[in-house]
Structure 1
Amino acid sequence: MKKILVALLVLIVLAAAGAGGVFMHFQNATTAPHAAADPAPKEFVVKKGASARSLGQQLQAQGFLDDPTVWRFHLWRRGSLNVKAGRFMLSPTASVAELANALEGQPLPEDVPFAMIEGWRLRDTDQVLAAQGLIKPGEYIAAASQPGRFAAPFPLPTRSLEGYLYPETYGIIADNFKVEAFIQRQIDTFRARFYDEHKDEIAKSGRSLHDIVVMASMLEREEPVPSQRALVAGILWKRVDKGFPLGVDATSRYELAEWNDRKAFLKRLRDNSDPWNSRTRAGLPPGPIGAPTVDSLLAALRPVKSDYWYYLHDAQKVLHPSRNAQEHEALRAKYNVY
């Protein structure tokens, strides 16, 4: 009987020791840094109504912890966790305890969409940003007129970043809007959408990146149908190479306060000294006339060769190319385009 009692006592001691070892294992696991291949902070979203306990598997699935059991143990030891719904930036190398503390903090502010429309000029973007109370009028233009303050893996123009600030919808934090950070995001988006994938093709094209951007900015305004822009690009590049005026009226609108101010536009067309008047001046205009999309950039990079030298659009904005001045004049009379 005595031997049985001794054996039971030994088993109890071993069980207690084992339980203590397990406890210490989990205790240590909650404070140990998590091993992660990429230590860069990542966004983690807590959905509305989610319980603290349910986050363990989500944290594991997104690479923030290896064992959700450790997460549950920490919650048991902690007693409670006041988790807030929202977006959090978490470190993949944080311990379980650090993750819990971070998720009790304030979520990231909710961003709001800012839609920059294709073809917009610096002044157009500046005007809308100012109207939304994000900047003081002229602040965006002033920052974009100092290209040396920004970084890119390609040469930036020296005068202005017109044409290099990619047009799309950006999520912004209204209470913490920094105009220079926003411009850098636009340059980075230009790089991601166009330059990185096509830099070798650009180098082999025989055109500089800047000339491609200038051409693309005209195509964005000249041709409403993206699939037709490469054909128009072929016509315009041919005129550039032969030293003929482009006749792109959008260039004469570039410096207008209001793009559709017809009276001011007609006055600019009659000004032969205007460097933006492409009816009378050969070659590309002095710079881009707005923000082109990747469709226009690719059209400028990959022009379609044809026999056409001219083109016009009818009242429905349908493209009508022509091979010579006689055909062009006949189309102008047919569609009443002057």
Structure 2
Amino acid sequence: MKRILLVLVGVVVLAVSAVAGAFFWAESGVQRSVAPPGAPTVEFTVPKGTTGRGLGPQLASQGLISDARLWRWLLFRRGHFAPKAGRHAVSPSMTMAEIATALEGAPIPDDVPFVVIEGWRLRDTDAALAAAGLIKPGAYIAAASQPERFTAPFPLPKGTLEGYLYPETYRVVPGAFKVEEMLQRQLDTFAERFYTPNKEAIARSGRSLHEVVVMASMLEREEPVPAQRPLVAGILWKRVDKGFPLGVDATSRYELAEWNDRLAFLKRLRNLEDPWNTRHRKGLPPGPIGAPTVESLQAALAPKPSEFWYYLHDAERRLHPSRNAEEHEALRRKYNVY
């Protein structure tokens, strides 16, 4: 009888030891990560309809956990697990508990790139957003025509935000796009890229921020080579300061429905009352004519002095400056530019 009792006690002890060993194995397993701290973050996708237990083999196969059985133990111990379908940022340096918490959080938004091209007008960006199905036509222009609704570390213009909406590639979420948020992001990018780093230089320049933006918007359209823009800026500022018409034809295109509509452009050039006609009107145009890049803004802020008063581009878009009207006309004839 004693022998039987001893055997039974031994079996119980072994069973308890096995359970205890399994418990400690499971507990230590769920508290360890499979990689040391600093391992790269990866995207893990929770498919729609997948159960919590069903994620274990997927996590193990991607090297995010060591054993799917440990994952089942973690879920048993948690008692409740509600992962969100979608993409999640996780790392093999996270513990299982941390991974589980991450999978219950909001998934990575399904954003896509939207490119605002250098020199685009409000109407151009509006049309591109509408074509992408992100807004109804006119929504971007309407929102940009209420500058008082936005914030910036610089004085916002009156009328519209034309010229201050930085051209860049922005990540947007279809189905959750808000035009006001897009405009604020563009203003923030303008401040980050240009205004904040150059705030003191703008104050010393003798020009207002708005004047710099207007000039930069013309440079964006006038000179395709960024390295040449300071020289062109020097010529244009000199003409402004001396009371000569700028002669920037891009300003006469600004209000055209289609920028390259030549017949409509020539008609506007003949209109001497058009405030955007800088062939005849002196000074800067009424406002910016598009979205300038930081290269154009820097050129407008720091123009290059020179002996030149005129410039033109040949058929290859190469710049040819000249010192006087005679040289300018000779270059016109040479390169057939009229």
- Normalised by the length of structure 1, the TM-score is 0.77
- Alpha-carbon RMSD across the aligned residues, in angstroms, is 3.8
CA distance in 2, matches of 1:183, 1:51: 41
CA distance in 1, matches of 2:89, 2:215: 41
Which residue is equivalent to 2:190? Answer: 190
Which residue is equivalent to 1:312? Answer: 312
Which residue is equivalent to 1:333? Answer: 333
Q: 1:187 to 1:319 in 2, by over 3 A?
A: same
Which residue is equivalent to 2:116? Answer: 116
**Contact 1:119–1:291 (CA under 8 A) maintained in structure 2:** yes
CA distance in 2, matches of 1:77, 1:96: 8
CA distance in 2, matches of 1:140, 1:89: 32
CA distance in 1, matches of 2:151, 2:229: 30
Which residue is equivalent to 1:46? Answer: 44
Q: How does 1:1-338 map to 2 (within 5 A)?
A: 45-46=43-44, 52=59, 76-79=73-76, 87-88=87-88, 97=97, 100-104=100-104, 107-338=107-338
**Contact 2:74–2:96 (CA under 8 A) maintained in structure 1:** no
CA distance in 2, matches of 1:75, 1:188: 46
CA distance in 2, matches of 1:96, 1:47: 16
Tell me by how many angstroms 1:336 deviates. 1.1
Tell me by how many angstroms 1:136 deviates. 0.8
CA distance in 1, matches of 2:209, 2:76: 60
**Contact 1:46–1:85 (CA under 8 A) maintained in structure 2:** no
Cα deviation code 1:139-197 (max 9, x no counterpart):
10000000010110001101110011111111110110101011111111111211122
CA distance in 2, matches of 1:138, 1:82: 41
Tell me by how many angstroms 1:114 deviates. 0.8
Tell me by how many angstroms 1:209 deviates. 1.0
Find the residue that maps to 2:175 and give its secondary structure: helix
One-letter amino acid of the counterpart of residue 253, structure 1: R
Q: 1:44 to 1:242 in 2, by over 3 A?
A: farther
Q: 1:293 to 1:87 in 2, by over 3 A?
A: farther
Tell me by how many angstroms 1:108 deviates. 2.6
**Contact 1:111–1:174 (CA under 8 A) maintained in structure 2:** yes
Tell me by how many angstroms 1:109 deviates. 3.0
Q: 1:56 to 1:153 in 2, by over 3 A?
A: farther
Cα deviation code 1:48-72 (max 9, x no counterpart):
9995469998xxxxxxxxxx99xx9
**Contact 2:152–2:187 (CA under 8 A) maintained in structure 1:** yes
**Contact 1:215–1:300 (CA under 8 A) maintained in structure 2:** yes
Find the residue that maps to 1:114 and give its secondary structure: strand
Greater gyration radius: 2
**Contact 2:272–2:280 (CA under 8 A) maintained in structure 1:** yes
**Contact 2:74–2:97 (CA under 8 A) maintained in structure 1:** no
CA distance in 1, matches of 2:175, 2:45: 23
Q: Which is worse superposed, 75-84 or 315-324?
A: 75-84
Find the residue that maps to 1:312 and give its secondary structure: strand
Find the residue that maps to 2:234 and give its secondary structure: helix
CA distance in 1, matches of 2:63, 2:166: 39
Which residue is equivalent to 1:61? Answer: none
One-letter amino acid of the counterpart of residue 223, structure 2: E
One-letter amino acid of the counterpart of residue 74, structure 2: R
Q: 1:329 to 1:119 in 2, by over 3 A?
A: same
CA distance in 1, matches of 2:157, 2:182: 18
Cα deviation code 1:112-141 (max 9, x no counterpart):
111111000000011111112111111100
Q: 1:321 to 1:174 in 2, by over 3 A?
A: same
Tell me by how many angstroms 1:107 deviates. 2.2
One-letter amino acid of the counterpart of residue 113, structure 1: P
Q: 1:100 to 1:154 in 2, by over 3 A?
A: same
% identical equivalent positions: 67
CA distance in 1, matches of 2:257, 2:61: 56
Q: 1:87 to 1:191 in 2, by over 3 A?
A: farther
CA distance in 1, matches of 2:113, 2:278: 36
Find the residue that maps to 2:171 and give its secondary structure: strand
Tell me by how many angstroms 1:309 deviates. 0.3
Find the residue that maps to 2:279 and give its secondary structure: coil
Q: Which is worse superposed, 296-305 or 73-82?
A: 73-82
Q: 1:282 to 1:319 in 2, by over 3 A?
A: same
Unmatched 5+ stretches in structure 1: 1-14, 31-42, 58-67
